[in-house]
Structure 1
Amino acid sequence: MYCDVRSAMAPGATIRKLPAALSALPAPTEVMFPGFFAWSPVPTSAVVAALNLDRGLFATWRCRGIGPAELPPAWFRRVSGRPRYYRADTILTWLAARRGEEFDTPTAWRLGLLRDFEQDVSDPAAARKLVRLYAQAAGPAGGVSFTPFGWNAYLDGLLGK
């Protein structure tokens, strides 16, 4: 069966082609995760929206081992669709590494603390303590549902344990 896409589309509609190459990814300083902090667990849906990617392409990168490191699935309660979670700072660091730029977790956290809480912290140890304090006080963002073990492991990971 032949289908002409132009006749099936509404007049004036456009087809938006999403980036399909790792080289087309944005710089970490251009990426925002609305509703999440720089250290928050972020679901795949928020990652692909922030990076303007096709979800299937992102899954292919994950399967090939070229995507960012995800958080352990055992940390989260089972929900339909089995979403995967990433820490926002891990995504930003991964983006920088793909582009050959300098960007690391302490940088992401310092920028997040400055943007979200007007805290200018230059000491990485002090930033870790503040991040853990804010994460514990705010709880998971964006409907992320941890298991009790997962929540404690996540908080410990913020301190580098």
Structure 2
Amino acid sequence: MLAPSVSSSATIIKPVTTLGALPPPSEVTFPGVFGWSPISTGSLAAALHLDRGLFATWRCRGIGPTELPSTWFRPAPGRPRYYRVDQVLTWLAARRGDQLDTATTWRLSLARDLGQEVTDLAEVRKLAALYARAAGPRLSGGVTFTPAGFRDYLASLLAA
């Protein structure tokens, strides 16, 4: 008897194992979030094709992107840490010796996600805060701010 042939369309993605193998910021996407949005460790690891344990090791060694204050967020199972998309992208760029800043990532997000071409930095910050306020303290991916944390997060978007 012949065994039925099995066709598999699954793609196996080998996790990144070194800092040098991280993708450039232009190749990283965080679906459904803006350049100023917070993301969890799980979302970050998935977007970068990283093993969460390896990323935790990098974080403990102080070579990861800047974390957002844990007091801004409601406790969640697994105690995730949170990062802002722009800070992850600028960290990736810096690891490669490239130049990328917060204003650029926000401008690109406004143009790509909302069809708004804005060059004035103050206007970019206002729009980011406006859209963040409209999204509210509960975001996709299990990100939930405390009331004080959401207020501080919005203030951080407007800070110079």
Question: TM-score surpassing 0.5?
Answer: yes
Equivalent in the alignment of 1:6: none
The correspondence for 2:118, drawn from 121, 125, 131, is 121
Secondary structure of residue in 2 paired with 1:42: strand
Count, aligned residues: 152
Secondary structure of residue in 1 paired with 2:83: strand
The answer to whether residue 145 in structure 2 is matched with residue 109 in structure 1 is no
Answer whether contact 1:77 1:147 (CA < 8 A) is retained. yes
Counterpart CA distance in 1 for 2:16 and 2:56 is 14
Counterpart CA distance in 2 for 1:120 and 1:68 is 27
Paired residue type of 2:102: T
TM-score, normalised to structure 2, is 0.89
Q: Deviations over 1:45-98 (max 9, x none)?
A: 110010011111100000000000110111111121111100000000000000
The correspondence for 1:141, drawn from 139, 142, 154, is 139
Q: Give the fraction of aligned pairs with identical amino acids, expressed as a percent.
A: 62
Paired residue type of 1:31: V
Counterpart CA distance in 1 for 2:13 and 2:122 is 44
Return structure 1 stretches of 4+ with deviation > 6 angstroms: 12-15
- What's the C-alpha RMSD, in Å, of the aligned pairs? 1.9
Equivalent in the alignment of 2:33: 36
Counterpart CA distance in 2 for 1:51 and 1:41 is 15
Answer whether contact 1:35 1:141 (CA < 8 A) is retained. no
- Farther-moved stretch of structure 1 (138-147 vs 96-105): 138-147
Matches within 5 A, 1:5-154: 16-139=13-136, 140-142=138-140, 143-154=142-153
In structure 1, list runs of 5 or more residues that go unmatched. 1-11
Structure 1 residue 141, shift from structure 2 partner: 2.4
TM-score, normalised to structure 1, is 0.88
The answer to whether residue 152 in structure 2 is matched with residue 157 in structure 1 is no
